[in-house]
Amino acid sequence: MSRFTEFETYDVRFPTSVDLDGSDAMNADPDYSAAYLIVRTDAGDGLEGHGFAFTIGRGNDVQTAAIEALRDHVLGLDVEATLADLGGFWKSLVHDSQLRWLGPEKGVMHMAIGAVVNAVWDLAAKRAGVPLWKLLADLTPEQIVDLVDFRYLTDALTRDEALEILRRAEPGRAEREQLLRAKGYPAYTTTPGWLGYDDEKLVRLCHEAVAEGFGLIKLKVGANLDDDIRRMRLARAAVGPDIRIAIDANQRWDVAEAITWIEALKPYDVWWVEEPTSPDDILGHAAIAQAIAPARVATGEHVQNRVVFKQMLQAKSLSFLQIDSARVAGVNENIAILLLAAKFGIPVCPHAGGVGLCELVQHLSMFDLIAVSGSTDDRVIEYVDHLHEHFVDPVIIRDGHYLAPTRPGYSAEMNPATLAEHRYPGGKVWTELSTGWQKENIA
Q: What is the nearest approach in angstroms of a copy of itself to the Cβ of residue 354? A: 9
Binding mask 251-290 for a copy of itself (x = CB under 8 A): x--xxx--------------------xxxxxxxx--x---
Q: Considering the rule CB under 8 A, would residue 56 count as an interface residue with a copy of itself?
A: yes
Query: Count of CB atoms within 10 A of residue 222's CB?
Result: 23
For a copy of itself, the closer of residues 151 and 168 by Cβ is 151
Among 5, 92, 314, 415, interactor with a copy of itself by CB under 8 A? 314
Query: Is 134 tagged catalytic?
Result: no
302 binds a copy of itself (CB under 8 A): yes
437 forms part of the interface with a copy of itself (CB under 8 A): no
250, 147, 268: which is closest to 194 by C-alpha?
250
- 304 scored as a contact of a copy of itself (CB under 8 A): yes
Within residues 128-167, the interface with a copy of itself by CB under 8 A covers: 151-155
Mark whether 386 is an active-site residue.
no
Those residues with Cβ within 8 angstroms of residue 283's Cβ, 6 or more apart along the chain or in another chain: 315, 317
Nearer to a copy of itself, 254 or 399 (CB): 254
Site for a copy of itself in 193-212 (CB under 8 A): none
Kindly tell me which residue out of 80, 85, 96, 393 binds a copy of itself, with binding defined by CB under 8 A: 96
- DSSP states of 234-279 as a string? HHHHHH-TTSEEEEE-TT---HHHHHHHHHHHGGG-EEEEE--S-T
Element counts in the chain: helices (H) and strands (E): 18, 12
Residue placing its CB nearer to a copy of itself in the complex, 30 or 408: 30
C-alpha span between 132 and 233 (Å, rounded): 41
Is 190 within 8 Å of 383 (Cβ atoms)? yes
Residue 325 found at the interface with a copy of itself (CB under 8 A): no
| Least distance from a copy of itself to the Cβ atom of residue 238, Å | 29
Give residue 56's identity as a one-letter amino acid code: I
Secondary element (H or E) of residue 11:
strand 4-13
Which of 92, 91, 115, 108 lies closest to 8, judged by CA? Answer: 115
61 or 378: whose CB is closer to a copy of itself? Answer: 61
**Least spacing, CB of residue 394 vs a copy of itself, in Å:** 23
> What 3-state DSSP class applies to 168?
helix
Strands annotated E in 70-215: 185-193
C-alpha gyration radius of the chain:
21
Query: Which residue's CB is nearer to a copy of itself, number 176 or number 386?
Result: 386
- 3-class secondary-structure state, position 390: helix
CA distance 176 to 180: 6
- Compose the 5-44 pattern: x for residues touching a copy of itself by CB under 8 A, - for all others: ---------------------xxxxxx-------------
Cα separations in angstroms, 244 against 129, 134, 226, 236, 293: 38, 30, 21, 9, 16
Comparison of 48 and 301: residue with beta carbon closer to a copy of itself: 301
Residue (106 or 127) nearer to a copy of itself, CB: 106
The catalytically annotated residue of 218, 351, 390, 422 is 351
Interface region with a copy of itself, contact rule CB under 8 A, candidates 234-242, 308-316, 342-350, 372-380: 308-316
Asked if residue 76 binds a copy of itself (CB under 8 A), the reply is: no
Residue 102 engages a copy of itself in binding (rule: CB under 8 A): yes
CB 441: neighbour CB atoms within 10 A? 7
Q: What is the DSSP letter of 186?
A: E
* Residues involved in catalysis: 220, 351
**By the criterion CB under 8 A, which residues form the site for a copy of itself?**
26-31, 55-59, 61-63, 65-66, 69, 96-112, 151-155, 251, 254-256, 277-284, 287, 302, 304-305, 307-308, 310-311, 314-315
